[in-house]
């Protein structure tokens, strides 16, 4: 576990427009100061990975699943990674966490207990997502089915479905870890909660529906847990609040019911997120590296600019990857893509910008398992490997000489 100092630092939280100072009361919890993440009074730079599979893998004790989780965390720590994004849900048919509304598998919950405990041992913070937009691992479609409904978008509006989700949030946040004896909401190993992975809403009034849902659920999470940061789970698509920004969406005006600007301006949301998948978002350009590079630069740059100047909150790239299943793939091309993303993150971080971290999709340890979605990254040692790129990025961020934190005062 993390070594938590046996005393407390007390800060006065206050609001200055959207630039809320959000510093956790207890030491060991990550907070934010304007557009920067902070931990125990110092700025935090992040380099990490996605591993959605960790909870269910750790629950499968018969096949040495926990050893697999430990191996992944050890390998990640060895190259300096300090944050992981995982699922805190599964309503699907395979090793479900939530079997039916309010009914949970204790074995699967113990798997999540182990992941939280083990991440703490390796000094890796966790971003835990609370539901999926898609049908994989159940998702909002399963919640709607539980309520006897057919339309997935009713996840955001139906009172019974929303209560199902709130009940799940409360169950996870107040879960007492069977290994540490600590409730999740009191565990500094957790970096943040994520409301929903990649939300979408197809309703014609989708932007308003999602905005209202995020407000309601963010407020509910904060009513239970004031220690941890909270983010939505957005991919970063622009909406109608600033129509001219929609040109940065992949393929132009792609409207999914989300609005990067207004969604992230909600006071209870602590930081913004984006995802980057040029191969799947721009399939016609999948073999044209130059066009993809231009998109990546514009996509990240626009969001950094908006977080710096409009949203005034930190920005974290919580998913990016390049799949071996797309035409023209090579490890060299993937490494160049990773390096491009890492360079933009580093340039923002070293100049005090809002983007100070990235979390690639995805880390695995098993080359022949069920996790082969084409994006898997193995920590193979040696020069010119993806693992070496990751280690170099970790080292560069760790060695940044950050300026003293600015202490804001109420006006």
Q: Into how many domains does the chain fold?
A: 1
In-domain check, residue 218: yes
pLDDT (average), residues 46-52? 98
pLDDT value at residue 402: 64
Question: Above 80 in pLDDT, residue 151?
Answer: yes
194 included as an active-site residue: no
* Averaged pLDDT, 3-29: 44
Any domain includes 113: yes
Provide the 3-class DSSP secondary structure of residue 125.
strand
Q: What is the pLDDT of residues 112-128, one digit of tens each?
A: 999 999 999 999 999 99
Give pLDDT tens digits for 240-285: 999 999 999 998 667 789 999 999 999 999 999 999 999 999 877 6
> The domain spanning residue 96 has which CATH number?
3.20.20.80
Assign 64 a pLDDT band (cuts: 50, 70, 90).
confident
Average pLDDT over residues 195-221: 93
378 in a structural domain: yes
Task: Report which of residues 11 and 369 the model is more confident about.
Answer: 369
Residue 4 has pLDDT above 80, yes or no: no
Domain assignment present for residue 33? The answer is no
Q: Is residue 12 part of a domain?
A: no
Q: Which domain holds residue 97?
A: 45-398
Average pLDDT over residues 174-178: 99
Instruction: Say how many CA atoms lie within 13 Å of 39 toward its Cβ.
Output: 18
Buried b (16+ CB within 10 A) or exposed e, 105-144: eeebbbbbbbbbbbbbebebbbbbbbbbbeeebbbbbbbb
Whether 30 is covered by a domain: the verdict is no
Q: Which of 231, 235, 319, 376 is catalytic?
A: 319
The DSSP line for 21-60 is: -B--SBTT-EEEETTEEEETTEE--EEEEE-TTHHHHHH-
Q: Is 198 assigned a catalytic role?
A: yes
Quote the mean pLDDT of the chain.
Answer: 89
* pLDDT reported for residue 62: 82
pLDDT classification of 290: cutoffs 50, 70, 90: confident
Quick count: other Cβ atoms within 10 Å of Cβ 6? 6
Looking at the predicted structure, is the pLDDT value of residue 367 above 80? no
pLDDT over 50 at 373, yes or no: yes
Note the pLDDT of residue 20.
46
Triad 136, 159, 173: Cα angle to 5°:
60
Say what the pLDDT of residue 186 is: 98
Above 50 in pLDDT, residue 8? no
Among the listed residues 118, 198, 231, 376, the single catalytic one is: 198
Look at residue 366 and tell me if it is in a domain: yes
| Tens digits of residue pLDDT in 303-347 | 999 999 999 999 999 999 999 998 889 999 999 999 999 999 999
- pLDDT at position 289 is 67
Residue range 120-145: average pLDDT? Answer: 98
With respect to residue 211, please indicate whether it lies within any of the assigned structural domains: yes
Distance CA(52)–CA(85), nearest Å, equals: 7
Q: What's the N-to-C CA distance of the chain in angstroms?
A: 40
Model confidence at 63, pLDDT cuts 50, 70, 90, reads confident
């Amino acid at each position: 576990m993390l070594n938590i100092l046996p005393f407390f630092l007390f800060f006065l939280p206050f609001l200055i427009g959207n630039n809320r100072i959000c510093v956790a009361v207890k030491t060991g919890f990550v907070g934010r100061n304007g557009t920067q993440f902070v931990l125990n009074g110092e700025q935090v730079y992040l380099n990490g990975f996605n591993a959605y599979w960790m909870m269910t893998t750790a629950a499968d004790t018969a096949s040495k699943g926990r050893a697999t989780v430990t191996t992944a965390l050890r390998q990640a720590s060895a190259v300096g990674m300090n944050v992981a994004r995982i699922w805190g849900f599964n309503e699907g048919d395979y090793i479900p966490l939530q079997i039916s509304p309010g009914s949970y598998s204790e074995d699967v919950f113990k798997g999540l207990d182990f992941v939280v405990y083990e991440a703490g041992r390796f000094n890796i913070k966790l971003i835990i997502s609370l539901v999926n937009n898609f049908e994989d691992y159940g998702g909002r479609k399963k919640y709607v089915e539980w309520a006897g409904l057919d339309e997935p978008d009713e996840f955001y509006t139906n009172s019974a479905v929303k209560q199902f989700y709130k009940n799940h949030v409360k169950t996870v946040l107040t879960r007492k870890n069977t290994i540490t004896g600590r409730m999740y909401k009191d565990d500094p190993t957790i970096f943040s909660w994520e409301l929903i992975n990649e939300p979408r809403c197809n309703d014609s009034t989708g932007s308003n529906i999602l905005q209202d849902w995020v407000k309601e659920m963010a407020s509910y999470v904060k009513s239970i847990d004031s220690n941890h940061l909270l983010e939505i789970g957005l991919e970063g698509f622009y909406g109608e609040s600033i129509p001219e920004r929609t040109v940065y969406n992949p393929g132009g005006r792609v409207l999914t019911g989300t609005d990067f600007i207004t969604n992230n301006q909600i006071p209870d949301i602590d930081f913004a997120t984006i995802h980057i998948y040029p191969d799947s978002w721009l399939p016609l350009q999948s073999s044209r590296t130059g066009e993809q590079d231009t998109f990546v630069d514009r996509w990240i740059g626009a969001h950094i600019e908006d977080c710096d100047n409009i949203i005034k909150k930190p920005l974290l790239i919580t998913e990016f990857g390049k799949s071996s299943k797309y035409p023209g793939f090579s490890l060299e091309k993937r490494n160049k893509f990773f390096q491009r993303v890492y360079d933009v993150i580093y340039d923002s971080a070293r100049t005090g910008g809002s983007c100070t971290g990235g979390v690639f999709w995805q880390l695995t340890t098993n080359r022949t398992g069920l996790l082969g979605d084409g994006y898997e990254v193995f920590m193979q040692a040696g020069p010119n490997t993806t693992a070496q790129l990751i280690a170099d990025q970790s080292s560069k961020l760790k060695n940044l000489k950050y300026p003293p934190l600015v202490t804001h005062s109420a006006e």
